[in-house]
Amino acid sequence: MNFETIPHPSPTPADEREAAIADPGFGKVFTDHMVTIDYDEDKGGWHNARIGPREPIALDPAASVLHYAQEIFEGMKAYKHPDGSLALFRPEANARRFNESARRMAMPEIPEDLFLDAVKLAVKTDADWMPPVEGGSLYIRPFMFASEAFLGVRPAKQYKFVVILVSSGNYFKGGVNPVKIWVSQDYVRAAPGGTGAAKTGGNYAASLVPQAEAIEHGCDQVVFLDAVEKKWIEELGGMNLFFVRKDGSVITPPLTGTILPGITRDSLIAMLTEEGLEVREEPYSIAQWREEAESGELLETLACGTAAVVTPVGTVASPAGEFTIGTGGIDQMAQKMREKLTGVQNGAVEDRHGWVVRV
Ligand SMILES: *Cc1c(COP(=O)(O)O)cnc(C)c1O
C-alpha cells in the first residue's frame, strides 16, 4: 500500500526541537508527524494510508472505542547505531502480537508488512527527533481503535490505525535503581479467559487503582497474583518477571493467557539460556518467592519490558511484611542482561539472533 504524504505546514523549528530532545524524559516530547491508516469493512478493509502532521483526531461522540473500549496498542523503540543508522528490535514480533491482540478484541488484523512499513515510515520521517543522549530512543506507539459511530454492542466496522512517536531519554537517569514492589491483595489484572494476553488499554485502566495503592504503600510498582488461587505470581502492571536461583535455574511464569507475552521476556529466555542457565516457564508462588528470598536460594528477581529493559526487584511488600531479594541492589544477572540487551539494540554487541532490523 502506498502512503500519501501530507506536507507539514509548520514543522517545529530546529532550535526548539533540539531544546526539547536534550532532556526529553519519557512520554511527553512528541514528534511532528503521525501515520494514519483507515479501516472500513464496507470499503474493502484497510485504505487511505498517509503520513502527515501530528494533530488531534476528530471522533464522533458515539465512536465505539469511547463506549466499549475496542482499542489495542504496541510499544517499541527505534535506536541509533554507532554508524548513524536507525534500527528496530524484533519489530515483526510486535506486528504479530498486535494482530493477536486484534483477534482477542474482535478487531481486524493489519497485514504485518503494512504495520512494519507504517512504523518505518514514521521513524524515517521524524529521525531528527532521536535524542542525542546515552540510552535515548524514539519510543514508537502504534495503536488501533474502533471509530464507527454506533451504540449497539458488536464489533465495529470502522477503525483507525495510528503511529505516533515520543522522543525518550534514558529511563534510568542517574542509574538503575532496584524497584520496590507491592503485592496486590484485592485486585487482579487478568482472569483465565479474559484479556490479560492482549495489549489493550482496558488492562491498564484496571491496573491504575492497584498501582495507586502500591504508591500509597511506598512502592514503585504492583505485582499481580493469579485470579483463581491468589497464589501464583503473574506480572507487574507492564513488565514480566524472572526469578534467578542459586541452583542455576531461572523461573518465569508460563503464558497461560493471563500474562502479556513480552518480547523482552522472550529475548531474555534466549539470553539467559545462553548464559548456561536452565530457564523454566512454570508457576512460581508468592510463598516460594518469600521463602527462597529469605533462605538465599533466590539470587535475583528481574522485571523486564521495552521501556525499562531489565530492572531488578529489590524489595517486596505486602500486609504480611517485607522481604528483600539478594543484596537488594543491582546484582550480577540484572546488570549483565541489561548491558547485553541494550548492547544488541544499540549496535554495540553482535546480534547473533537476527533481532535487529535496520530502518
Ligand atoms: C507491553 C507489556 C509487557 C512487556 O512487553 P515487551 O514486549 O517486553 O515490551 C509486559 N506486561 C504488560 C502488561 C505489557 O503491556
pLDDT at residue 346, as a whole number: 95
At 171, the pLDDT band (50, 70, 90 cuts) reads confident
Q: Which atom of ligand 1 is nearest to the CA of 237?
A: 13
Of 132, 191, 197, 142, the closest CA to residue 164 belongs to 142
pTM above 0.95, yes or no: yes
The DSSP bridge pattern shows strands 71-73 and 33-40 to be unpaired
At 174, the pLDDT band (50, 70, 90 cuts) reads low
At 173, the pLDDT band (50, 70, 90 cuts) reads low
User: Which segments within 226-294 are labelled E, that is strand?
Assistant: 233-236, 240-245, 249-252, 278-281
pLDDT at residue 328, as a whole number: 72
Amino acid at 324: T
Task: Give the Cα separation of 156 and 149 in Å (integer).
Answer: 8
Task: Say if residue 157 is exposed, middle or buried (CB neighbours under 10 Å; 0-12, 13-18, 19+).
Answer: middle
Give the residue-averaged pLDDT of 20-39: 95
Of 160, 183, 201, the closest CA to residue 322 belongs to 183
- The protein residue with its alpha carbon nearest to ligand 1, atom 1, reads 238
Q: Which atom of ligand 1 is nearest to the CA of 304?
A: 8
Task: Say if residue 320 is exposed, middle or buried (CB neighbours under 10 Å; 0-12, 13-18, 19+).
Answer: exposed
pLDDT at residue 170, as a whole number: 80
Q: Which atom of ligand 1 is nearest to the CA of 235?
A: 11
The SS3 of residue 148 is: coil
Contacts of 121 (CB under 8 A, 6+ apart): 3, 35, 51
pLDDT at residue 134, as a whole number: 87
Amino acid at 308: A
At 15, the pLDDT band (50, 70, 90 cuts) reads very high
Q: Probe ligand 1: pick from 306, 310, 355, max atoms within 8 Å of CB? A: 306
Give 297's DSSP letter. -
- The protein residue with its alpha carbon nearest to ligand 1, atom 5, reads 262
The SS3 of residue 182 is: strand
Task: Give the Cα separation of 86 and 92 in Å (integer).
Answer: 16
Do 314 and 178 touch, CB atoms closer than 8 A? yes
User: Which segments within the chain are labelled E, that is strand?
Assistant: 4-5, 29-30, 33-40, 45-53, 71-73, 76-80, 86-89, 137-146, 158-168, 179-183, 221-225, 233-236, 240-245, 249-252, 278-281, 298-305, 309-318, 321-324, 356-358
Q: Read off the pLDDT of residues 116-150 as tens digits, 9 standing for 90 and up.
A: 999 999 999 999 999 998 889 999 999 999 999 99
Do 150 and 86 touch, CB atoms closer than 8 A? no
Q: Probe ligand 1: pick from 97, 100, 235, 240, max atoms within 8 Å of CB? A: 240
pLDDT at 172 over 90: no
What's the number of CA atoms in the CB half-sphere (13 Å) around residue 129? 26
Residues touching ligand 1 (Cβ under 6 Å) are 75, 199, 235, 238-240, 260, 262-265, 305-306
Q: Which atom of ligand 1 is nearest to the CA of 189?
A: 13
Q: Read off the pLDDT of residues 270-313 as tens digits, 9 standing for 90 and up.
A: 999 999 999 999 999 999 999 999 999 999 999 999 998 999 99
Buried b (16+ CB within 10 A) or exposed e, 201-228: bbbeebbeebbebbeebebbbbbbbbbe
Q: Read off the pLDDT of residues 192-225 as tens digits, 9 standing for 90 and up.
A: 999 999 999 999 999 999 999 999 999 999 999 9
Q: Read off the pLDDT of residues 85-115 as tens digits, 9 standing for 90 and up.
A: 999 999 999 999 999 999 999 999 999 999 9
Of 330, 331, 332, 341, the closest CA to residue 271 belongs to 341
